[in-house]
């Protein structure tokens, strides 16, 4: 089993969640996050003065899928989140599970 951690822009989060729901994934965790990668933040204006926003708003989505479905799920998420600009997001994959694991 794999855990996918998907970090996307807030404006594309709804499309990503819709794509995930179409794939019949049972477990999903969504939370707000802040961070940056290559886009390095931006300058914002407030009441006439500029200030630097070091961390950008993001949405972190975690889901768990079987090893056989990882490629399919990652491709569907990428298609939903991609705008073609820097900062679209990242997908991290991690092996999870251990002998005797149980759900409750």
- CB of 60 within 8 A of CB of 6? yes
Q: Is the pLDDT of residue 27 over 90?
A: no
pLDDT at 95: 92
- Best-predicted range by mean pLDDT among 22-26, 35-39, 49-53, 54-58? 22-26
Q: Is the pTM of this model over 0.85?
A: no
Residue 90 structural domain: 2-95
Q: Is the pLDDT of residue 76 over 90?
A: yes
pLDDT at 39: 63
pLDDT at 104: 61
Report if residue 103 sits inside a domain: no
What's the pLDDT tens digit per position in 78-88?
999 998 888 78
Report if residue 101 sits inside a domain: no
- CB of 92 within 8 A of CB of 4? yes
Burial of 61 from C-beta contacts in 10 A (0-12 / 13-18 / 19+): buried
Q: In the chain, how many domains are there?
A: 1
pLDDT at 44: 61
Element (H or E) spanning 12, and its range?
helix 10-22
pLDDT at 35: 79
Name 2's bridge partners: 65, 95
pLDDT at 43: 57
Sheet of 2-8, strand order: 28-35, 56-65, 2-8, 89-95
Task: Supply the CATH number for residue 57's domain.
Answer: 3.30.70.120
C-alpha 100/C-alpha 74 separation (Å) is 27
């Amino acid at each position: 089993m794999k855990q996918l951690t998907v970090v996307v822009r807030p404006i594309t989060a709804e499309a990503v969640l819709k794509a995930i729901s179409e794939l019949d994934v049972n477990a999903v965790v969504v939370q707000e996050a802040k961070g940056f990668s290559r886009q390095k933040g931006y300058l914002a204006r407030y009441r006439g003065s500029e200030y630097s926003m070091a961390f950008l708003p993001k949405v972190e989505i975690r889901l768990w899928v079987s090893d056989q479905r990882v490629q399919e799920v990652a491709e569907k998420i990428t298609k939903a989140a991609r705008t073609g600009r820097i900062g679209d997001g990242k997908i991290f994959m991690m092996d999870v599970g251990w002998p005797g694991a149980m759900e409750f």
